[in-house]
Amino acid sequence: MIGWRIQRVAATGSTNDDVKNAAEAGESEGLVITAREQTSGRGRQGRVWHSPEGNLYASVLLRPRIPVSEWPTYSFVVALSIYDAVQKALPSAPITLKWPNDVLVDGKKISGILIETVEGGLVVGIGINILHFPAEALYPCTSLAAEGNQQVTISAVLDDLLIALDRWHMVRQTQGFEVVRNDWLAHAKQGILKVKLPGQETPIEGLMNGLDEQGNLILRMDNEQDRLISTGDVLGFL
């Protein structure tokens, strides 16, 4: 089990930056820095992550004992951990997963993940909407409060998240990606996906046909050929 060491701060620019600095100074696995608000929060592909007080913002240092080439699969490890924590808070809600690492409640995004590499480890940034969610975003959003749980605390969600992350981290290291992949696919929203690729204005469409061994999305195209997608945004389901 990971010995989590939680540092709580009122405000910071970015919890990911704080954990990266600690990692580069030799900090061991298990450091968690959480802030009530961030002034320079960011998400995937350099997007701004609005971070007002009332939501969960935390970054975690992991040092996986698997080949570095397999580290990208940790986005699925983290997504499953968030899934478990959100399900604990919303046990009756329809919760699904969206490639590459989004957690959806009733089709709306409730969390964000930013994973960055440091020497010998991963800095895992996690945001979960507890009270607030952005009205304007690339994908419709929601929060735990909006979905019916106004009583849950940030601390309780963090505790559940770390319990789940500890478990999935161990599963990934001892049982491999296949177990993680199968569980992720069991919770993933299926069907025809509309995917926007970097540098392309027009999204492509294809039937979700699983994940490969590196976590790339497999789309079955109209010509019955499979296409691997390594980077992109799923804009919707048809």
Domains of the chain: 5-187 (3.30.930.10), 192-237 (2.30.30.100)
> What DSSP string runs through the chain?
----EEEEEEEES-HHHHHHHHHHTTPPTTEEEEEEEESS-B-GGG-B----BTBEEEEEEE--SS-GGGGGGHHHHHHHHHHHHHHHH-TTS-EEEETTTEEEETTEE-EEEEEEEETTEEEEEEEE-SS---SS-SS-B--TTTTT--S--HHHHHHHHHHHHHHHHHHHHHH-HHHHHHHHHHHB--SEEEEEPTT-SSPEEEEEEEE-TT--EEEE-TTS-EEEESS-EEEEE-
Question: What pLDDT score was predicted for residue 137?
Answer: 78
pLDDT tier, 42 (very low <50, low <70, confident <90, very high otherwise) = low
Question: What pLDDT score was predicted for residue 139?
Answer: 86
pLDDT reading at 207 higher than 90: yes
Residue type, 10: A
DSSP bridge pairs for 206:
193
Question: What pLDDT score was predicted for residue 105?
Answer: 98
pLDDT reading at 13 higher than 70: yes
- Spatial strand order of the sheet with 31-38 comes to 5-12, 31-38, 56-62, 121-128, 111-118
Q: What is the mean pLDDT of the chain?
A: 94
Question: What pLDDT score was predicted for residue 115?
Answer: 96
Question: What pLDDT score was predicted for residue 53?
Answer: 92
Question: What is the C-alpha separation between 38 and 12, in angstroms, rounded?
Answer: 5
CB atoms within 10 A of CB 219: 22
For residue 117, CA distances in Å to 24, 29, 33, 203 come to: 11, 13, 16, 29
Question: What is the C-alpha separation between 1 and 39, in angstroms, rounded?
Answer: 32
pLDDT reading at 195 higher than 60: yes
Residue pLDDT, tens place only, 52-90: 899 999 999 999 999 999 999 999 999 999 999 999 999
Contact between 97 and 189 under an 8 Å Cβ cutoff? The reply is: yes
pLDDT reading at 44 higher than 70: no
